[in-house]
Each structure stands twice: as C-alpha cells, then as structure tokens.
Structure 1
Amino acid sequence: MTRWRQQSGDPLTLDRILRWNLAIWIPFGLLPLLIAVHDASPARTYGMFGLFALIALCHGVVLARPDSPVLPPRAYLAVLALVLGATSFILTGGAAFYVVSLPQFWLFARGPREATTLSGAAAALTVFGGTIEQGWSPDLLTGNTVSTVIAYALGTALGLWLYRFIGQSNERQEQLSAELALTQEELAAAHQRQGAAEERERLAREIHDTLAQGFASIVVLAEAARAATVTDPERCAQQLTSIERTARENLAEARVLVGAAPESGVAPGSLATTLRRTLDRFVQDTGLTVDAELPDIELDQHTRVALLRCTQESLANVRKHADATTVGVLLTEAPGSVELEITDDGRGFVVEESHGFGLDGMRRRLAELGGELTVTSSLGDGTRILATLPTQRQE
C-alpha cells in the first residue's frame, strides 16, 4: 500500500479505490461464501464463519491503520492467501473468491514483486485447497484450477501494466512540475526585471521633472545674474535669490527621491495656489506675461502632482524653446474630469517630429492616472498643451 500511495501521489484517490474495492468484495466475495456454506456440515459452517470473521477483522485493521506494525499490509495479504486456501478446501473450490480478492494483492502490496509473489501463493493455495480431498488428476485441469490460473495470469499482467502506467504518469507529472517551477521562476524574474525597469523609468521621469528642470533654471538664472552684475545690481540680487530658492527646492526633491523625506511636490490644499506660486516664479525669472485662470478645485494628491509636473515641464519648454512673449494657463473642471490648458505664442514646432523625454514623460504620468495629453502646435503658431485627468475625491 505504501508503494501505491507513492505511485498514485494522491492518498484520497487510493482511499477511494479501496472503498470501491470493499464495496465489491463484500457482496460478491464474502456474502456468496456464507450462502454457499449454509448447507454444509456444522464444522465446515462454523469454520467458514470463523474465516469470515478473521479476514473481516484483519481487513478493517489494515484499512484503518495501514502503517501499523501489529498487522502490516504484507501480513494481511499472507492471512488472505491462507483464508483463500482454506475457503477453497471447505467449499471444494474457491476460484470466484480468489478472483474477487485478487485486486487486494496489488492494492496492499509494497511493490509489483511482492504483489506477484503473494497473489501467486494465494493462487497455489486456492488450487491446492480445492484438490486436497480429491487428489490430483488431469480431470481437475478444468473449473476451479483453470479459472484460478487464468485469473492469476491476467491479474499479474494487468497489475504490472498499471504499475508501469502509473510510474510513467508520475514521471511525466514530475517533469511537468519541474517545468512549471522553472516557468514560475522565470516569470518571477521577468516581473522583477519589469518592476526594476518601471522604477528606473519613474525615477528618470521624476528627476527630469524636478532636479533637471531646477538645475536648468539655475544655469539660466546664473548666466543672467552674471550679465547683470554691473548693469543692474538689483536684478542680479533677485536672480541670485531665485537661484538659492531653486537650489533649496532641488535639495528637498533629492531627499524625496532617495527616501530621506516624505513625499512632497504639492502640499495638500488647492492646486490653484501652488500653480500661482509656480507662475509667479516663472514671471519673475523670465519677464514673460502670463494670463492665468485658476479656480480653486479640490483634487486628490496624485492629480495635483501630475498637473503641477505638466505645468512645470510646459513652462520649462517655453523658456528653452518657444521664444514666446505671452503664456496662458487655464484650469477648468468638467463633470468627472479636470483640464489644464497651457498655451504660448512662441515659434511652435512639428508635433510628429518631437520625441523629447519631457512630452513622453507627461503622457506616461497622465496615463498612469487614466488621463491623456493632447499637444497642438505648428511652426509659427505657438503651442497648446491640454492635460485631462479624471477627478477623484479629495484625499
């Protein structure tokens, strides 16, 4: 039985087979014996009842505790073989009982060799018990003897085939399990690589939208301050102040990126207030005219951060590329969404030919929140940036 449990790989399946075998063995094996011995002599009748009680008891024990050292499955099969021989002697033939009991030798044995040996011994005892009173003669090569021998041969062939089939199935199952484990490891590694790539992309976008833009502003302000050192000391002082403020903001953003400070970027509250500060800084640093309509709209933190980053990136592009004189910023709320429109009257560009990291970063940032970015521009006609995001409850 231990071998079958190892071979089947599913104890519940084996237990189910044993229950079915018991359901067949009792009505077609044991009960016909009790009926057949009814007209026998009292000695034979009592002997048959004794054998019935013995084998029933042993069968119950081995089913309840298959690993018990008191009655291991091998000992039970030996008792079964003796009972088959004794039954054949009492009834002068027990081929039918042997045939019904034959599956047990393959279910309870530890392996095909033990099953073949014990079932062969049971077959020999069955034949011997049926011929012991009549003696041996060629006429006995029919009936009980032939049926028992044929049953043993067919049972052995079928049992060996089943062991081989189950063994091959288990090998295939182990192979599939190994392949599945390997696939899971590869999938986990792929997910890890994908996660690392997404994290690198996120960090690159954050660095571009915060530190890189801040350093670019510092460079521009430093160049302007150096040019105004002699001609406009007051303007130079303002630009140095802007440089200091921008450097402090970059330092704060750097601490956020390395995890040394809590998430920042937009303080909880109105996005309009944060955008007005950003636009005031932009006007102070560039001298451009900004027309802004920024109503107070309650938005969640992720939406505020995304719209602020889009504004900062758009203003940085205006400063570096547009050669504009006027910038327009319009924040509006629609049912279920919020829109931020940034326009300029600069030189414009061909959208299809633009592959900058800034625009792609804005698109990805908005897409992560279920939004989209629309860029409209042409040479000489300025640029229009429209960021649309679904609105959520205030956090």
Structure 2
Amino acid sequence: MPFVLPREPGLPPVGWGSYAMTTLGVVPLVWRRRWPVPVLAAVVLVGLVYRTALDGPGQPLPYAVLLAFYTVALRCSARVRAVVGAVALVVLCYAVGLNSGTARELFFTGFCAATAYTLGRLQFTRHAYTAAVEDRAAQLERANRIEAEQAAARERARIAREMHDILSHAVSIMVVQAEAGPVAVRRAPERAEAAFEAISETGRDAMVQLRRMLGVLREDGPAGAVPAPREPQPDVAGLPALLERVRRGGPVVSYARHGAVRPLPAPLETTVYRIVQEALTNVVRHADAATVDVSLEYGASEVSVTVRDDGRGPAGPGTGGHGLTGIRERAAAHGGSAVAGPAPGGGFEVRATLVVSPREVGS
C-alpha cells in the first residue's frame, strides 16, 4: 500500500530502485525452509540498506523479517536460535535507533518479533505432536498386522491338528478293518460284516467332521452361500462311541473315570477327546496291541488323560511324531503337559494333564 498511495508533499516520487530493493527483500523467503538463518540475514541486510541508502516508502511492519524470524524459530535447533536471538536483539536496537529511537517503537518492534518467535515454536510443537501421532498410528497398524498374521498362523495350526486327528484316526481304523476283512470272511463271516460296518461308520463320521470344519472355513464366502452346519465339537460324552470303533479293529479297549466326575468346559472336553483319539490312532497304527486302557482322572484343578497299551509303541523316532507333537501342543494350550513313553511293566503309555482354571471350574 505505501507504493500505491501517493506520498506526502515534498517527498520524492517512488523510483525503480525502491521497487527493486523491496522485491529483493522478499524473494529470499522462497528458500526460507531450506536455509532459514541465511534468508533471515539476507532480508535484514536488504532492509537496512533500503533504509539507509534509499528514501523510499517504508512499511508499517517488517513483514519479511518477521516471517524469516518465525521460520528460524520453527526449524532451527536451540543453540542456533539462541545465537540468532542475541544478534537479532542488537540489530533491533540499531534499527530502532535509525528510525525514531523511542522506547515505544523499541517495545512494539520487540513485541512483534517475540510474537513471531512464539508462533514458530507453537507450530514446531504442533508438527512434533502430529508426527508422534502418525508414528503411533503406524506402530499400531504394524502391531495389528503382526497380531493378525500370528492369529492366522495359530488358526492354521489348529486346523492342521484337527484335520490330522480326524483323517489319521479314520484312515487308520479303516485300514485295520479292511486288512482284517478278508481273513474274517473266510473264518468268521459275522466278524467280516461287523468290520465292513465299522469301515462305513468310521468313514461317515470322518466325512461329517470334515464337512463341518470346511464349512467353517467357507463362512466368509460369497453372499448366498449355504451356511456351515452348526454342530457341537466332540466331547467326553463321545468317547464310548470312539472306543467302540477302535474295539472293532481288534484290541480290547477299557474305559474308566476316577475322581469327582463333572462336566468340563467345552474347549477342554474337545481337547480330551482329541488326545484320546490321537493316542488310539497311534495304538492302531503302530503298537500291535491286544489291550488298551483309557482312563480320565478328575482333580480339583486339573484333569488327567491316560492311554496305556500292551503293544510295542512307536517303531521309531519318526513314527507317530506328528500325533504326539499334536498331543503336547493341545495340552500346552490348556496350561498342561503331555508325556509319552514305555509304560511300567511293558507296553506304551501316553499321559496328558490339563489345567482347569478356577473361572472355568466355577462356570
């Protein structure tokens, strides 16, 4: 505006030198973010030269200097800001002396410079806070992604264990029954009929369990898909039927429960069922046993599962390894443990102890 409005009578008109120096005092602000201190020094120097060498229109406030000073407060370190502040105080006193030299002007100019500095520091704090929030959000996103990947890995491991238990048990029983079928046809036709019925029943049960598991995996499928059947997971009440299918394969299986028999939490009952199922699968596949004893012992805060046979146990370190590993993983998931090895007096024994938490006991 001082360049647009007419000057007071007696003052020389505005020349091209005034326009050039005023422009030169503003153009360095383009690079203020990259070089804040040199830009501040440049605009201050141009302002002093304009003030002393030219008799052009003055500005009511040194806008370019205030903006450059604001940028120094925003982007420079504390040490640089201290040095710039000390030099700025000297230059400020010198500039006021060139003009009116009054305390009023000194106070007003100092107040404007302090305001520019304060706004710069507030903006720095805002930037730091925004960066911290964005960094926190990125960390949470990474943590959520890692947690989702870990949850997916745990779910894959769980499904793999379930598939292994279902298929391994069913196929083992069916193979044993099928191998015994031809002999039974020649010697005891009624046993052959029972063997074929056992194969059929075992296959149907395996298909039902696999269909239920695959149906759960398809629950997030396309719209309009048939929903997965809602059937309960196997539990302790299903053990007699499981043992009966194994009996048809040859070994004599006994079943006993000790202690204060009571309902257990559903996940724990499913784990008990799967442990017995996998242990019996190993017996049928590897032990060549004549008798198998299955027992559940109910304690105050735990339940123990024992499967003992009179066979030879796994034939080697790799035999039945996945099944025994699965048993240990299932027991560990309930805060317990599982051991497998030769039984006292001969044979092989699998024993798992599962912890029942007080909250679960109360429920």
Question: Is 1:284 matched up with 2:240?
Answer: no
Residue 89 of structure 2 corresponds to none
Distance in 2 of aligned mates of 1:374 and 1:347: 16
Residue 353 of structure 2 corresponds to 388
TM-aligned CA deviation for residue 384 of structure 1: 2.0
TM-aligned CA deviation for residue 241 of structure 1: 0.1
State the SS of the aligned residue for 1:294. Answer: strand
**Match for 2:273: what amino acid?**
L
Distance in 2 of aligned mates of 1:380 and 1:148: 107
Residue 323 of structure 1 corresponds to 288
Residue 142 of structure 2 corresponds to 186
Residues 264-284 of structure 1, C-alpha deviation per residue, up to 9 Å, x if partnerless?
A: 3436xxx3x532332222122
Pick from 133, 148, 164: which aligns with 1:177? Answer: 133
Pick from 225, 234, 249: which aligns with 1:266? Answer: 234
Whether contact under 8 Å (1:349, 1:378) holds in the other structure is: no
Whether contact under 8 Å (1:211, 1:253) holds in the other structure is: no
Gaps of 5+ in 2: 1-60, 71-96, 217-227
Aligned residues: 258
Distance in 2 of aligned mates of 1:379 and 1:320: 21
Residue 298 of structure 1 corresponds to 263
Q: Could you list the structure 1 runs, at least 4 aligned residues long, displaced by more than 6 angstroms after superposition.
A: 350-355
Higher helix share: 1
Matches within 5 A, 1:1-395: 146-257=102-213, 258-259=215-216, 260-266=228-234, 271=236, 273-286=237-250, 288-295=251-258, 296-348=261-313, 356-377=321-342, 381-391=346-356, 392-393=360-361
Whether contact under 8 Å (2:256, 2:296) holds in the other structure is: yes
Gaps of 5+ in 1: 1-104, 106-111, 117-140
Distance in 1 of aligned mates of 2:353 and 2:182: 40
Whether contact under 8 Å (1:292, 1:330) holds in the other structure is: yes
TM-aligned CA deviation for residue 180 of structure 1: 2.3
Distance in 1 of aligned mates of 2:169 and 2:320: 18
Distance in 1 of aligned mates of 2:351 and 2:344: 18
TM-score for the superposition, normalised by structure 1: 0.56
Distance in 1 of aligned mates of 2:345 and 2:282: 15
CA root-mean-square deviation? 3.6
Residues 173-229 of structure 1, C-alpha deviation per residue, up to 9 Å, x if partnerless?
A: 333333222222222221221121111111111111123321332233223324544
Whether contact under 8 Å (1:348, 1:383) holds in the other structure is: yes
Whether contact under 8 Å (2:289, 2:310) holds in the other structure is: yes
TM-aligned CA deviation for residue 393 of structure 1: 4.0
State the SS of the aligned residue for 1:347. Answer: coil
Distance in 2 of aligned mates of 1:246 and 1:264: 18
Residues 289-324 of structure 1, C-alpha deviation per residue, up to 9 Å, x if partnerless?
A: 334323554323222211111111111111111222
Residue 27 of structure 1 corresponds to none
Distance in 2 of aligned mates of 1:343 and 1:363: 16
**Match for 1:376: what amino acid?**
G
Deviates more, 1:198-207 or 1:211-220: 211-220
Residues 84-117 of structure 1, C-alpha deviation per residue, up to 9 Å, x if partnerless?
A: xxxxxxxxxxxxxxxxxxxxx9xxxxxx66xx9x
Change (3 A) 1:352 1:224: closer
Change (3 A) 1:233 1:265: farther
TM-aligned CA deviation for residue 242 of structure 1: 0.4
Q: Flag the structure with larger Rg.
A: 1
Whether contact under 8 Å (2:306, 2:351) holds in the other structure is: yes
